[in-house]
Amino acid sequence: MTIRLVGVSASYPTLRVIICLKELGLPYELEPPASYQSLKDEDYIANKHPFGKTPVLFDGDFRITESRAICRYLASKYQGKHNDTILIPNDVHKAGLVDQFISYELSYYDPPLLKIVYQKKFVKNFLNKDPDPEIIKQAHEELAKVLDVYEKLLEGKEYLNGEYSLADLVHCPGTYCVYGAGHSDLWDSRPNVKNWWNRLCNRD
């Protein structure tokens, strides 16, 4: 039975799961919800996501929500089954560090990214208002400090944990969004970060 993914590919948490499915060589069907508002319907909340979010993954009768949890589940279940791609190393110490880098992405990297995406995409396209330049400026500065740390973390390494892993993957969709929205200098002005991002972009 094919995996079903409820979400839209423009949403970057959904995109995280899509990249993960592709990396593991897993076929899937994408099922966009009827509308953004339908995520708050009683039926969606009861049967898909109790907090009214996407993505939601159905693997047969099994339902799981939250993009990073979904990715971990897919890696646990399918890694090595369809191809040789390793997203979470089998070694407990290496896996621990991958988890650590996923947490850095969640705690430090994603929040300023989300603020920029919210202002430039959501506020503009859905609320029909002008993005707040002050919020964007602060988020840009916050992200600059985070990328200073990443510049050191990536010293002498091609990927966050040495080899490509789920930790690098989770960074892709948000970075792609903000990089293309006029903030590319944040990545391009830091050599290790720039090389890392180029490497990630060049993956199929």
Partner 1 sequence: MTVKLIGFEVSPGVLSVMMTLHELGVPYQIENPASWQALKDEDYITNKHPFGKVPVLCDGDYKITETRAICRYLVSKYQGKNNKTILIPNDVHKAGLVDQYISYECSYYTPPVAKLVVEEVFHKTSNPELVETSQKEIDKVLDVYEKLLNGKEYLNGEFSLADLLHIPFTHFIFSATKHADWWNKKPNVKQWWDRISNRDCWKKCVEKIKF
Only one of the segments 30-38, 62-70, 121-129, 182-190 lies at the binding site for partner 1 (rule: CB under 8 A); that segment is 62-70
Binding track, positions 90-129, relative to partner 1; x by CB under 8 A = --xx-xxx-xx-xxx-xxx---------------------
CB of 76 to partner 1, least distance (A): 5
Q: Which of 27, 34, 84, 152 binds partner 1 (CB under 8 A)?
A: 152
Strand partners, 6: 31, 56
Q: Which is nearer to partner 1, 50 or 80 (CB)?
A: 50
Which residue's CB is nearer to partner 1, number 149 or number 201? 149
User: For residues 76 and 203, which CB has a smaller minimum distance to partner 1 in the complex?
Assistant: 76
Give the nearest distance from C-beta 137 to partner 1 in angstroms. 21
Interior angle at CA 201, CA 104 and CA 124, nearest 5: 75
What's the order of all strands across the beta sheet hosting 3-6?
Answer: 28-31, 3-6, 56-59, 62-65
Rounded to whole angstroms, the Cα distance separating 157 from 162 reads: 5
Q: What share of the chain is helix, strand, coil (3-state, %, to 5)?
A: 60, 10, 30
CA 83 to chain centroid, in Å, comes to 22
Cβ proximity to partner 1, 68 vs 115, nearer residue: 68
Cα 129 from chain centroid?
26
State how far the Cα of 83 lies from the Cα of 183, in Å rounded to an integer: 35
Burial class, 153, CB count within 10 angstroms (exposed 0-12 / middle 13-18 / buried 19+): middle
According to the binding rule CB under 8 A, does residue 142 interact with partner 1? no
In the complex, the smallest distance separating the C-beta of residue 143 from partner 1, rounded to whole angstroms, is 13
Binding partner 1 (rule: CB under 8 A), the pick from 73, 122, 159, 179 is 73
Residues contacting residue 1 through CB under 8 Å, at least 6 positions apart: 59, 60
Q: Which of residues 9-48 bind partner 1 (CB under 8 A)?
A: none
Residues contributing to the site for partner 1 (CB under 8 A): 50-51, 62, 64-66, 68-70, 72-73, 76-77, 92-93, 95-97, 99-100, 102-104, 106-108, 149, 152-153
